[in-house]
Amino acid sequence: MSGLPLLPSILVDMIGSVADICFAFLAMRYAFLLTRKQPENFVWGYLFYICIAISAFSISRATGHLVKQFLLLSGNIDIWHTISPYTGGFNTLMLISVSAVTLFYHKGVQTHQVIEQKARKLKDANRRLEEAAREMKELNLHLEEMNTHLEEKVRERTAELSRSEEKFRHLFSASKDMVYFCNTDQDIIDINESGLEMLGYRPDEHPKLNLHDVFNNEGELDTFFKAMKRDGYIKDFEAEFRRKDGSVINVLLSATAIKDDQGNIVSCEGIAKDLTKVKTMMEQLAASEKMASVGQMAAGVAHEINTPLGIILGYAQLMMDDFDEDSEPYQNLKVIERQTKASRKIVADLLKFSRQTGSARENLNINEVLHDVVAVTEHNLSLDHIRVHMDLADNLPPVVGDAEKLRQVFVNLINNAHHAMQKQGGGEIFIRSWYEPESGEVVVEIRDTGHGIPEDVQARIFDPFFTTKPVGKGTGLGLSVSYGIIQDHGGTIEVESPVKNPETGEVMAGTAFRIRLPEAKDPEAVLEK
Amino acid sequence: MKSALPSVRTAAGAFFGLCFFFLALPDAAWALQSHGPPEGIYIHQMAHIFFFGSLLYLYRDLCHTSEKDQGWRYLRWFCLLMLCWNVVAFIGHAVTFHLSEEHIANASSYLHSRLLGPMDATKILFYITRFDHVLIVPALFFLYRGLRTLYAQVDETGKAYEHRESSA
């Protein structure tokens, strides 16, 4: 029989149909797995739908072919003719379905791409927002860190400023010199306690002071202002400041003008040092030098005069032997003898002042010397209603000195006090002694309640032959001799009038002499000179 | 409003009544089109054309995917083979339509059936197109391989899909 066998095509059809179903379902499985792996992925979902349609088409077609083959093999061709329109129709339906699903792939993907693009943009925007938020967070952290550092810096700077302010405040307040600040109207806007004390104010007082009130001399103030305007500062300017009580102190002033950007003086600051004590000391030093030179001159004069006086006295006494006591020449010679002796006493006093006389040194208890002096003078004092108060410290260390000469000093001082109070009909003399361990000195103070010594006189009271007493009442050598004796003992003598109570600050009328003698280095030693 | 409702109901009732009348008398309606025997094969052939067009469209779309991407390349092979299969199937259906049962001899059993000569183009095409599984089986195989490869390529981050999106 000619022709081509259809067996190969039948076998291929049967095997191929089975393979179709297998591969279609395998493809559908992986499409399904893809959708499970990425459920949000539209493409996988779409491929899954295509696979479903193809699987359905494969089942439809392959099953139809297999059924056909089996029916034809079994000879049931009639049955196949009956069902073939159904399988063919279903096959066509599946084919159209696959076509429809496939056709919409492109549009679906396009739509999906647009959505994805939008989603990606949103995602990018979100990512950028997150990055911006992260950067903001980092920036915030950085700012917080900077803020923390800044706070620490501020704390450190504040502490440094506080320390600096405390240091300069301490320097300002603890300075023993006056430190002040003033404005353009010359009002003192700030001044330390030492400055207030220097001007006689209490620390808790807040006086409204102006430089015009403080400067005692208008001329000095003008000089001060001119220097400040010209140079912007003034250095070591000696000026007089007026205290609250009207008294005047000498100060050494240094000040600086504070200027603004335009060079205008906006304020000034100054430091003033109280030179009153220094000036007093300088005056005392000058007086000491003057006394020393006067003493040397007096010693020379005394030596020169002493010899002719001795000759005059000797000859006068020899001549007195040649005349009767009742005769006029004898009386004249007696006057010569008396005046010559008076002159010799003056010469002796001059020698004592100039320390040209011999002196016996021994360890003395100054209280005993004072008791001896008071015992001698108390009677005369009581006659003029002058009472003596003694306040002597116990256990005073001994001083090295000549008891006789020290007695003379104390007698001189008590006599002066006596004379100062004699006119006013009485008064009181306070005798005190104490020991100052810091300086190692024994101090004796003799104070009266008399009329005091004027300030202009105080600088001259230790000058030889200076006296305020009437002529014939005093030689003016008492305090000079006392000064010389105390100097010879290595001590000092100072005067204060009127007297200021060191405890209460109260100013009392009268005069106080303070004698400071160094304590004996060797309490047992006795020196002879 | 109340007065308008009865007229609407009346009109609707008249419309549905007329429809029922024509459905109950189909012979007199002339609106129904009869579907004779060749219509099925025509529809099937048109379905093949439709499937061919949609596959071509899909192939064009898949061509935008990266050539380095093996999974999408398999899918393009699937499209090409399916396109070919469509052509073969269309021709097969067409030639079968022109052949009658007399051209096939069924002497002893179905398995021993033969296409009787003399051979002409129609018969040869008929014989060749009966092996259409030679195309559709590999096509489905490539579909399976393509999806399996994509599945293997897709990691948790959806790398394969993103790759495709970027290349598209």
Please tell me which of the candidates B43, B107, B161 has its beta carbon nearest to residue A92.
Answer: B43
Q: Are strands A386-392 and A265-274 parallel, antiparallel or unpaired?
A: unpaired
Domain at A362-518: CATH code: 3.30.565.10
Do B143 and A105 make contact, defined as CB atoms within 8 angstroms?
no
What does DSSP assign to residue A503?
Answer: T
Beta-strand runs (E) in A243-368 = 248-259, 265-274, 362-364
Residue of chain A whose alpha carbon sits nearest to that of B117: A3
The pLDDT tens digits of the residues spanning B122-157 come to: 888 888 988 999 999 999 999 999 999 988 887 644
pTM: 0.43
Q: B107 contacts in A (CB within 8 Å)?
A: 1
Helix axes B70-98, B38-62, angle to 10 degrees: 160
Query: What's the gap in Å between the CA of A11 and the closest CA on chain B?
Result: 9
Q: Which of residues 328-367 of A touch B (CB under 8 A)?
A: none
Does residue A360 contact residue A323 with C-beta atoms inside 8 Å? no
Residue A189: name the closest of A174, A170, A173, A211 by CA. A211
Does residue A258 contact residue A450 with C-beta atoms inside 8 Å? no
SS3 A361: coil
Interface probe, candidates A78, A91, A103, A123, chain B, greatest B C-beta count within 10 A = A103
CA within 13 Å, CB half, A25: 9
Please tell me which of the candidates A12, A26, A38 has its beta carbon nearest to residue B161.
Answer: A38
Q: B160 contacts in A (CB within 8 Å)?
A: none
pLDDT of residue A416: 87
Q: What is the DSSP string of chain B?
A: -TTTHHHHHHHHHHHHHHHHHHHH-HHHH--PPP--THHHHHHHHHHHHHHHHHHHHHHHHHTTS-TT-HHHHHHHHHHHHHHHHHHHHHHHHHHHHH--GGGEE-SS-GGG-EE-SS--HHHHHHHHHTTTHHHHHHHHHHHHHHHHHHHHH--TT-HHHHHHHHH-
Q: What six digits make up the tokens of A339?
A: 């005046």
Flag whether residue A96 sits within 8 Å of chain B, measured between CB atoms.
yes
Q: B57 contacts in A (CB within 8 Å)?
A: 102-103, 105-106
Do B151 and A37 make contact, defined as CB atoms within 8 angstroms?
yes
**Helix %, strand %, coil % of chain A (to 5):** 60, 20, 25
User: Which residues of chain A fall below pLDDT 50?
Assistant: 527-529
Phi and psi torsions of B38, nearest 5°: -75, -15
Confidence of residue B82 (pLDDT cuts 50, 70, 90): very high
CA distance A257 to A211: 14
Do A102 and B112 make contact, defined as CB atoms within 8 angstroms?
no
Q: Which of residues 165-224 of A touch B (CB under 8 A)?
A: none
pLDDT of residue A350: 72
pLDDT of residue A341: 87
pLDDT of residue A515: 93
Bond before A498 cis per omega within 30 degrees: yes
Q: What six digits make up the tokens of A468?
A: 């305020």
Instruction: Give the number of beta-carbon pairs within 8 Å between A and B.
Output: 158
Bond before A5 cis per omega within 30 degrees: no
Flag whether residue A119 sits within 8 Å of chain B, measured between CB atoms.
no
Q: A5 contacts in B (CB within 8 Å)?
A: 112-115
Q: B109 contacts in A (CB within 8 Å)?
A: 73
Confidence of residue B118 (pLDDT cuts 50, 70, 90): confident
Does residue B124 contact residue B116 with C-beta atoms inside 8 Å? no
Does residue A195 contact residue A209 with C-beta atoms inside 8 Å? no
Do A16 and B136 make contact, defined as CB atoms within 8 angstroms?
yes
Flag whether residue A92 sits within 8 Å of chain B, measured between CB atoms.
yes
Q: A34 contacts in B (CB within 8 Å)?
A: 147, 150-151, 154
Cβ neighbours of A512 (radius 10 Å): 21
Chain mean pLDDT for chain B: 78
Q: Which of A315-324, B15-24, B62-71 has the highest mean pLDDT?
A: A315-324
The pLDDT tens digits of the residues spanning B84-93 come to: 999 999 999 8
Do A72 and B116 make contact, defined as CB atoms within 8 angstroms?
no
pLDDT of residue A90: 86
Q: What is the interface pTM, i.e. ipTM, of the complex?
A: 0.75
pLDDT of residue A461: 83
In whole angstroms, what separates CA A68 from the centre of its chain?
119
DSSP β-bridge partners for residue A267: A183, A258
**Largest Cα–Cα distance in chain A?**
225
Confidence of residue B166 (pLDDT cuts 50, 70, 90): very low
What does DSSP assign to residue A112?
Answer: H
Q: Does domain A178-274 have CATH number 3.30.450.20?
A: yes
Phi and psi torsions of A439, nearest 5°: -100, -10
pLDDT of residue B84: 94
Flag whether residue A91 sits within 8 Å of chain B, measured between CB atoms.
yes
